[in-house]
Amino acid sequence: MCMTEKFWEALVTVLGDESLRADPRFVDGHRRHRHRKELTEILDPVFRRGTTEQWLDKLAGVLPVGPVNDVASALTSPFTTASGMVQTVPHPHKADLRLLGNPIKVNGVRADLTVCPPLGADNEVLPQRTGLLLRFGERSEEQGSAKPARFAHLDYTTPSAYRFVELVTEWEHAELAPYRRFASYQTWRATSPPPQDNTLAICDGRTVANDDTMEFDVTIGHEAVPGNTFVSRVCKANDAHRWFYFSNLTRDELLIFKAFDSAAPDANNAAHTAFDDPTAPRDAVPRASVEAGLFAFFE
């Protein structure tokens, strides 16, 4: 606030400390800047003797000064109120929600604020197929929908993904709002207690090249049922692939990974396969798992 000699002289006069005026370290702006640490150590104790309001009263009209506000004070200051920078907007879960206004005015008018919709309010989610897919390991006496898939694969090709969207909307009698993008997500959960003798491994899709995959026909259940037969992709082994798995999964843990995204139809996403965990004890409970696929539609 004392960038000029005029303001420095005015401050010294208000403080009534002639030693500051005579001190060779502070005789001009250049030297005050060089010795600002020493000057700060002198002035700080002086300013602590009064409140912010008291110093504003003393320096008003003498120096261009203003308070340093915390957030709460800044939001309730007369300037903020008069300028309309804080606005109250309706919110479905919080009455009188106060937000910072748009700092830009058009023709002197500040744009009104609106509350963004809750997360997912503009999206629709449909199950990939009715029911859940239950899998039991070969050592299990239980019978499920299918045995573990012991080959690295990607669930969709681009045509089959779009075909499943048609089937899903038909199965669910869904009338979808116009959407710009859809994605398929797979969920997988172990229902047998840890440690699992057989579990799911997932590959980093960024390490899978298109030449590593080839299409094949899949049938799950009766082939006459629409959607039970479709085209998928199998992955050939490649040392460049990076595989990951989670051991000792519990029933309250869920794996979610993306199988297809219309925004990046050529991405190889997450290839996956079942495999026997060599670290599991021989008497481990046979693997049991449940999985489901979902289609999400985005505006």
Does some domain include residue 102? yes
* 172 within domain boundaries: yes
Residues 285 and 144 in one domain: yes
Domain containing residue 153 = 124-298
In this structure, the answer to whether residues 102 and 237 fall within a common structural domain is: no
Shared domain for 231 and 137, answered yes or no, is: yes
Do residue 269 and residue 290 come from a single domain?
Answer: yes
91-109 pLDDT tens trace: 777 777 888 887 777 777 7
Task: Note down pLDDT in tens along the chain; length 299 residues.
Answer: 577 889 999 999 999 988 998 899 998 888 999 999 999 999 999 999 999 899 999 998 888 888 888 888 888 888 888 888 888 887 777 777 888 887 777 777 777 777 776 666 555 665 555 457 888 888 888 777 778 889 999 988 899 899 888 888 887 787 888 888 999 999 999 999 999 899 999 999 999 998 999 988 877 666 666 666 778 899 999 999 999 999 899 988 999 999 999 998 888 788 999 999 999 998 898 899 988 888 899 88
Phi, psi of 71 (to 5 degrees): -60, -45
150 and 39 in one domain? no
Whether 118 is in a domain gets the answer no
| Dist. CA 121–CA 93, nearest whole Å | 14
- My answer on whether 141 and 263 are in the same domain is yes
Task: Using alpha carbons, select from 263, 265, 245 the residue that is nearest to residue 255.
Answer: 245
Asked if residue 52 belongs to a domain, the reply is yes
pLDDT of residue 241: 94
The answer to whether residue 184 sits within a structural domain is yes
Paired tokens of 27: 């005789």
Is 248 in the same domain as 182? Answer: yes
Asked if 279 and 186 sit in the same domain, the reply is yes
- Does 47 share its domain with 93? no
